[in-house]
Amino acid sequence: MDKDEALDELRTLLPVGTTVRTILRHCSASGMSRRVSTFAGYPKREESTMRVVSGSGSSFLCPPGHPMHFHHIEDGPAKNPSLIAGLDYALDDPYDDVPINIQARVRDMYDDATLVNSELWQRHVYGYFKNCYSPDGTNRNSTSCIIDPTHGEPPTHHLAFMMVKSHFPDAEPRLDLIASNGDYGTKPCAKCGIRLQYEAKVDAFAEALAARTTCPNGGAHETKAETTP
């Protein structure tokens, strides 16, 4: 099929005025790589093969204990899923395609979860959102944020505080972490030199991907900050 034939078929399938929707199928931890599908209309619920699967998904900034560190949503063939999404997809149900039983199971997982507002996690979040502020104290979209290294914006508009508060409603802005820009990035183990990054799944600095906390030189990995008096 050449370009003109493809355009003719596309115009037949999608007449002027047709609403085309997108689904974010996968997003890398950095947010720099994404896989997006398009479709017209809504998938039929009765034909859904959607399921809850073991393995983290879209849990990059979730606090320790969050169910998204341990499960995600998939749809389609097991070997080649047509959808890979975080558990929040089931609750948001943006395309009205999530079966009721899946929604109920995810709600139960959220209700049973014990989230931990740990110091390491807060430092990680404040570091990730360093100098980033909401324009109105409501909009948390990072593409609309104000970059203010002087910290002249209200602390309650800081995107890190807004992220923490979304999970812990009683949270207050951490002025110390706003000023210091938190603690985001990799650092070497003080004992073996392996590069470590914060992994909320285990609430510790660990080896990337495997989230391994055991040091080959014995005991647990330790960063320099942890060994400094």
Q: What is the pLDDT of residues 45-79, one digit of tens each?
A: 445 789 999 998 878 899 999 999 999 999 988 88
Please tell me the predicted confidence (pLDDT) of residue 80: 85
Q: What angle do CA 46, 48, 52 make, to 5 degrees?
A: 135
| Number of residues that this document lists for the chain | 229
Q: What letters, b where the CB count within 10 A reaches 16 and e where it falls short, cover 18-37?
A: eeeeebbbebeeeeeeeeee
CA–CA distance, 64 with 183 (Å, rounded to integer): 16
C-alpha atoms less than 13 angstroms from C-alpha of 36 in its C-beta half-sphere: 8
Helix, strand, or coil (residue 34):
strand
Please tell me the predicted confidence (pLDDT) of residue 44: 46
| pLDDT tens digits along 165-208 | 999 999 999 999 999 999 999 999 999 999 999 999 999 999 97
What residues does each domain of the chain span? 13-112, 119-180
Rg (Cα) of the chain, in Å, rounded? 21
- Residue 208 burial (CB count, 10 A): 13
What's the pTM value of the predicted model, to 2 decimals? 0.76
